[in-house]
Every structure is written in structure tokens, then in C-alpha cells.
Amino acid sequence: MSNQLQFYLLLSAALFCIGIFGLVSSRNAIRVLMSIELLLNAVNLNLMGFSNFLDPGAIKGQVFTVFVITVAAAEAAVGLAIILAIYRNRQTIDMEQFNLLKW
């Protein structure tokens, strides 16, 4: 039983690390948003594992997962709108070209 919880936690840790790698190293702005979705899904997997194995009576982890899904939907909508606006301004979606705030 404990091994199974550890397997779920390791799985979500691997997903989180893949998401961070994509977040830092990708140059396409839409791929950065996809990586953020991967990060949020890793956190959700963590919450669900804890909810099932440590707190099966009152499933509060699932409640938190539903809230995280809600915030992820809002984040995706606003993030893609920002990418569209910046694409109209700069005519590119290369993350290396978004250096307006460079000092």
C-alpha cells in the first residue's frame, strides 16, 4: 500500500520535472503554456494520491483538485490571449525575442 503511494508520488515528480524542463528550455511560447499545464497536472496527481491513500474518508484532495482545474482553465484562457496580443505586436512567438523588459 505504501509502495503504491510512493509510485504515484514518483510519477508526479517525474511529470513535474519534465514540465519544468519544457518551461525553461522551449522557445515556442505556446509550448511554454503546455508545460505549465503539465506542471499543474503533476500537482493534481499528487493531491489525488494523497487524497486516496492518506485521507480516504473525507476526500479533501479531490476538492483541491477541482479548484486547481478551475484555476488552470482560467490561466490557459488568459495566457493564450496574452500570447495572441504579443504575437500581434511583435509578429513572432519566439521567447528569445520577447525582451522588451530587458534592462
Judged by CB under 8 A, the chain residues 3 through 22 that form the site for another protein are 5-11, 13-22
If you ran DSSP here, which 8-state letter would residue 98 be given? -
> Could you say which residues in the range 64-83 bind another protein, by CB under 8 A?
65-67, 69-78, 80-83
If you ran DSSP here, which 8-state letter would residue 18 be given? H
Whether the CB-CB separation of 96 and 27 falls below 8 Å is answered with: yes
| CA dihedral sign, ordered 55, 59, 63, 68 | positive
> Could you say which residues in the range 33-62 bind another protein, by CB under 8 A?
33-35, 37-38, 41, 44-45, 48-49, 51-60, 62
Q: Considering the complex, state which of residue 88 and residue 100 has its C-beta at the smaller distance from another protein.
A: 88
Number of residues that bind another protein (CB under 8 A): 73
92 is a site residue for another protein (CB under 8 A): yes
Distance (Å, whole) CA 96 – CA 98: 6
Q: Minimum Å distance from CB 100 to another protein? A: 16
If you ran DSSP here, which 8-state letter would residue 44 be given? H
